[in-house]
Structure 1
């Protein structure tokens, strides 16, 4: 059985669920660095957008009953591969030890101002 997870604390769209819980796992959709309090991107730098995208993922995980420590995989999609070092700079502060598995790839769509999209899979209660 699958359960749709949603929260007003992260960006949403009628085109996808923020997350789906199924089989003891939470699958968080790719989320960008939009600050829901302003409705705008959190900033123009890769660090600012990475920070906000991770905060958005954390909000969805919380809504699903999962903790940050329950994350098993993270997928990072970069608009510009040259932003890899800057993304890693912020990312490392969120996972200081025993990080989850991760992949990084190029974002395949052009979204105005968007530098990064981050998705996750985690264990659920």
Structure 2
């Protein structure tokens, strides 16, 4: 088993690696839209207490997908190597249609299994997080 650091994706918000390889499978920890070296979150405006005032969900989707791509590439995998994606949304009612549309665009050739869940909150003021599994083709 090996951990794979990344220099392009945002720093993890806790004590965990972004990836873990077991055999030919690559497991990605939850990936959100934050950007490396930046305090802000794409498309999110918060008040001084960290409460979300407004957010642009599509900006977050694009950022999450880019972060997943960064992590995969630095671990020796590619977008089309994804075999399973679990998606956590904080507002299924309002955000699922945009998410589903963007997902279809990003995954036009890759067709991983997918599960989408609505959750109450994520550790930072984000509206989407992906948990992925990829297969490594050595």
Do Structure 1 and Structure 2 share a fold, with TM-score over 0.5?
A: yes
C-alpha distance after superposition, 1:99-125 (max 9, x if no partner)? 211000123534453100011100113
CA distance, structure 2, for counterparts of residue 66 and residue 5 of structure 1:
11
Structure 2: tracts of 5 or more residues without a match: 44-54
Contact 1:30 1:118 in 2 (8 A): yes
TM-score computed with the length of structure 1 as normaliser: 0.89
C-alpha distance after superposition, 1:36-66 (max 9, x if no partner)? 2534211122211111111111111111101
| Greater Rg by CA | 2
**Residue equivalent to 2:96:** 84
Structure 1: tracts of 5 or more residues without a match: none
CA distance, structure 2, for counterparts of residue 29 and residue 77 of structure 1:
12
Contact 1:107 1:116 in 2 (8 A): no
Equivalent residue for 2:77, pick from 44, 61, 66: 66
Q: RMSD of the TM alignment (CA)?
A: 1.6
TM-score computed with the length of structure 2 as normaliser: 0.81
SS in 2 for 1:35: coil
